[in-house]
Amino acid sequence: MDTETLIIWICGYIAFSGLMVAPLWVIFRRAGHAAALSLLFLLPVAGPLIALYLLAFRPWSTPHNLPRQDA
C-alpha cells in the first residue's frame, strides 16, 4: 500500500466517522448520556466499539426516557 492509497483510506475513514458522529451525538443525547461521548467514534478501531458499549450498557436514565411499561 503506497502513501497515496493510505491517504485516501484515512480521508475516507475520517469522512465516514464524521458522518457517523452527528447522528450518534443525537442518539447519546436522547439516551441521556453526554453527547460528547459520540466523539469516541473518531478513535480508530476501538472507538466505535467503546461508544456502542457505553450506549448498550450504561443506563438510559433521563426522565423522559423511562421505559414504557405496558399494563
Partner 1 sequence: MELVLEIGIRVLLAAYIGIGGWLTMRVLQLAGLRWWWAILLWAPAGCWLVPGAELAGLLAAPIPVILTWAFAYAEWPALIDRSRIGRRSGITPEAPQLSERARAHTFFPGMDDDEANSPPPPPRPSRDLPSGALEQTIPHKRQPVDPDNPPILRTPNSQRPPAAAPARVSHRSNPTPQTPASEAGPSAPPNGAGPADRENWMLSGFDDEGRVLRYQVRADDIRACDDGYVVGRNPQVANLVISDDSVSRNHACLRLKGLRLLVEDLGSANGTWIDGRALSPHRAFEVAPGASIEFGGVKLTLTHA
The C-alpha cell of 35 is what?
453527547
Compute the C-alpha angle 20/28/57, nearest 5°.
Answer: 110
What are the residues binding partner 1 (CB under 8 A)? 16, 19-20, 22-24, 26-27, 29-31, 45, 48-49, 52-53, 55-57, 60-69, 71
C-beta of 10 vs 26, nearer to partner 1: 26
Tell me which residue has cell 483510506.
Answer: 9
Name the minimum Å distance from CB 41 to partner 1: 10
Name the minimum Å distance from CB 3 to partner 1: 20
C-beta of 7 vs 65, nearer to partner 1: 65
C-alpha closest to that of 31 among 3, 70, 5, 67:
67
